[in-house]
Structure 1
């Protein structure tokens, strides 16, 4: 029997994305966002939702760009810190020992130590309750070479991305490979 938990943000899991922008003074800033996902394949886009009182918010709007850096599980403390303090008060990159790298395709920094980076041009923003959902067109994806499969696809078992569980507020990472997508379910398809 399933128990009703009410209208809550308990979809499992949520990403741990370091959303980075330059602030109004041109200083690199990053925050952790869990409300995000792929929005479109053509053009390739993702969404991330940010509260308007966050320091990153004004930077994204001013520069019309942001990056999403995907954290490896071994850097969970650094990622957690990025979500705990405001870039208005301290230089989070310096404090966490992270390196801000200027994107070569959008006007935003990314985190060099995180293995996977998605560089986005802001194309839409929508107010949704207490958050604004930014839609970013993916202009490039960069991945550490040693974290690739066949030199063109990120290997989730090497990237070991951090994931978040809303509700209990805990971090996890990916588990065992289960099977090949668009293949395992064929056993339920009618023969043609």
Structure 2
């Protein structure tokens, strides 16, 4: 029997993404966002939701750009810290030893030590109450070469992306491949 948990943010999993932007003075900053995902394929777009009071919010609005650096499991402590403090009060890159790199596609920094980077131009904003959803048009995706399958697709088993469980407030990572997409369900296709 399933138990009702009411209207809550308990979808599983949510990503652990470092959203990079320059602040209003041009200083690199990154915050952790778990409210995000792919939202379109033509043009390729993703979303991240940020509260207007966050330091990152003003930077994204000013520069009309942001990056998403996918956090790997071995850097969970650094990623957690990026979500614990405000870039208004401290230099998170200096505190953690992470390296900000200026995107060559958009006016935003990314985290060099994180293996998968998505560079986005702000396409639109949607007011959702407490959060504003930023829709970013993906201008480029960068991945460490040793984390690719066949030299062209990011491999989650090599990247080990952190995922977040909102209810328990715990970090996890992905497991092993269990099936091939658009193949495992073939047994249910009707034969003519």
List per-residue Cα deviations over 1:107-161 (Å, max 9, x = no partner): 0000000000000000000100100000000000000011011111001110000
RMSD: 0.5
Question: Any idea what SS the aligned residue of 1:135 has?
Answer: strand
Alpha-carbon distance in structure 2 between the residues aligned to 1:149 and 1:12:
25
List per-residue Cα deviations over 1:73-102 (Å, max 9, x = no partner): 000000000000000000000001000000
List per-residue Cα deviations over 1:10-55 (Å, max 9, x = no partner): 0001000000100000000000000000000000000000000100
The residue aligned with 2:33 is 33
Aligned length: 192
The residue aligned with 2:88 is 88
The residue aligned with 1:4 is 4
Alpha-carbon distance in structure 1 between the residues aligned to 2:64 and 2:128:
19
Where does 1:52-67 land on structure 2 (aligned, <5 Å)? Answer: 52-67=52-67
Query: Structure 2: which 5+ runs fail to align?
Result: none
List per-residue Cα deviations over 1:152-191 (Å, max 9, x = no partner): 1001110000000011000000012101000000111111
Question: Any idea what SS the aligned residue of 2:6 has?
Answer: coil
Question: Any idea what SS the aligned residue of 2:84 has?
Answer: coil
Alpha-carbon distance in structure 2 between the residues aligned to 1:71 and 1:38:
16
The residue aligned with 2:117 is 117
Matched, 1:162 2:162: yes
The residue aligned with 2:133 is 133
Alpha-carbon distance in structure 1 between the residues aligned to 2:5 and 2:175:
26
Report runs of 4+ in structure 1 exceeding 3 Å deviation. none
The two structures have a TM-score, normalised by structure 1, of 0.99
The two structures have a TM-score, normalised by structure 2, of 0.99
Query: Structure 1: which 5+ runs fail to align?
Result: none
Question: Any idea what SS the aligned residue of 1:94 has?
Answer: helix
Alpha-carbon distance in structure 1 between the residues aligned to 2:71 and 2:11:
20
